Amino acid sequence: MTQSDERRLHPRQPAQARGVVIAPGIEMTCLITDTSAGGLRIRTDRQIALPARVIVVDVAGGRALEVEVAWRKGMEAGLKRVAEASVRGLVPSRLLAAREAWQRAGGR
> pLDDT tens across 37-51, in order?
999 999 999 998 999
Ramachandran angles phi, psi of 5, nearest 5°: -65, -35
State the average pLDDT for the chain: 91
Q: pLDDT tens digits, residue range 2-23?
A: 545 556 667 788 899 999 999 9
Name, in order, each residue with C-beta under 8 angstroms of 44's C-beta and a sequence gap of 6 or more.
21, 28, 29, 30, 31, 75, 76, 77
Dmax (CA) for the chain in angstroms is: 43
Instruction: Write the DSSP symbol of residue 106.
Output: T
Residue 57 carries which side chain, given as an amino acid letter? V
Complete domains list, the chain, with CATH: 3-104 (2.40.10.220)
